[in-house]
Structures are given as C-alpha cells and as structure tokens.
Homo-oligomer: A and B are copies of this chain.
Amino acid sequence: MLQAGQLVMLVSPKGKRYFRVLDPEDTLHTHDGKLDLADVLNRGFGATVNTHLGRPYSILLPTLYDLIKGIKRHTQIMYPKDIGYALMRLGIGPGKRVIEAGSGSGGMTMALAWSVGDQGCVFSYDRREEFSELCSKNLEWAGLASRVEWFNRDIKEGFLQTDVDALFLDVRTPWDYLEQAAAAMSPGAPIGFLLPTTNQVQDLLMALEEAPFGDVEVLEILLRKYKVNGERFRPDDRMVAHTGFLIFARKNGE
C-alpha cells in the first residue's frame, strides 16, 4: 500500500514522533536503534516495524494535527486550537479559494491547503523571502504544495487575486492592509486575524469601524489537557496561557 516518496509518521514506544518521506535506501537513526525504511515501505500504515534492537515503532498516516506539530519552524506557529476554529469561521472547505498573508513557517498554510482539497487553491503571501521558502518546503514535505501559490511581495501594493472566498491576515499591523484585503475578497466573504497583544486588537477594532467590514467578533481559545489516568483524573499542572486573540469579520456587501 505504501509507496516511495510518501510521507509517513513513525512513533516510538514512548510516543516520540519521526516524519520521513519514504526512500527504500534510507535508514532512520533513533535512540531505540536503526530502522530500515525499506521495512517500513513493505509493512504499510497501521503496522509495526522493529528497530535493529527489537523496539516496535508504529507506522502511521499523519493527520493534519500531526503535520502541523511536525513542521520545521523559524517562528512560533499557530496552534491547532486556533487553526481548527479559524477554518470553521472562515468557511474553509473543499474547492475554496483563499488568501493567506503572513505565511510564517506555514502551519496555517498547511491547514488551508489540506482543507481546500485538489479543487481549491491557497494564495500565500509573505514579504520575507526566507519564510516563503521555508513554508514552501514544509508544504512540499507534506505533499500539499500543489494546492498553494506563493507570492513574495509587499501586500501594501495589493493582492493579485479577486473574489476570494476567505482571507486570513496574520501580520503585525493588519490595519494597514484592510483596503487591499477588501479589494481581493468576494462581497460577504469572511476575514480572520490573529494578534498577540491587546494594543493591537484595539487598533484593529478602531480601524475596522472605518473599513468596509462588519459582523466583527473577538475571542480567545484556551485548551487544558488532563492526565490520562482514570483512577486519578485531573488536569495537567501547567498549560499554555496565551497564543493570541482571534478576530473575525465579514466584508460588507455592495
């Protein structure tokens, strides 16, 4: 079932995750010993394969969640808790055409590309060349690059698309680009923002009042994990306290 060139996730007995694009000549070196990728290829998803020291590794098909956790990053990436909610609010799904500005390391890009399917398209903008490159490599690795077009340009000059179904503006001063965003979007289409500080949210809210957007909502999402123990069930001791504020709005009609 598996083929050379496919991305697999290998999980150690202790839960450590390794990602590999299958090359039958290649070997994975782990703390538990060596693993021949040729063996992995012969076994298939869901199967177990042993290292030369006899430790069993699971061969898994990565979910979107796994992919996002596994990407190479230069900066903090968006968290799954925020991505999952944003996809719903932005109406992302098979066949949609969506712009993302501020690709970063490509966590959100990957989620968008995963969700729009082969019929959809993601237009990803980042002024910083090193990010466009990193992001594009990450998408290549996940096998999703064909669904993304990269634009290494300053969005102050506008976006090259029109009538997109949704736009996600993940930049430091989004209030500077609201006109450009509106010009690229279909009337009534949703827009999303992620901002770390309250000062930025305040500035954005005031700018949105003057811009052709309505139906504004601001929120934050907290995720608390629990210890996996049915006899002593309780939350973890510590948690992430803040990633950012999510802001959603819709472009006004004509």
* A239 lies within 8 A of chain B by Cβ: yes
**Which A178-233 residues sit within 8 Å CB-CB of chain B?**
186-190, 196-199, 201-206, 209, 214-233
* A59 near B94: Cβ-Cβ < 8 Å: no
- Indicate how many identical chains form the complex: 4
Partner of A46, one of B111, B116, B234, B254: B254
- Contact call B84/A87, Cβ cutoff below 8 A: yes
Most chain B CB inside 10 Å of its own CB: which residue of A89, A204, A235, A236:
A235
> Which residue of chain B has the shortest Cβ distance to A203 in the bound complex?
B230
Is the CB–CB distance between A197 and B237 below 8 Å?
Answer: no
Cβ 8 A contact of A206, one of B86, B115, B231, B240:
B231
For residue A60, which residues in chain B have a CB less than 8 angstroms away from its CB?
188, 250, 253
Contact of A236 among B202, B242, B250 (CB under 8 A): B242
Task: Provide the bound-state CA to CA distance between A204 and B204, in Å.
Answer: 21
- Report A145 CB to chain B, min CB distance, Å: 16
Residue A45 interfacial (CB < 8 Å): yes
Docked CA distance A215–B62 (Å): 13
List the 6 closest A-B pairs by CB distance, nearest first. A46-B187, A63-B91, A94-B117, A84-B84, A205-B230, A239-B241
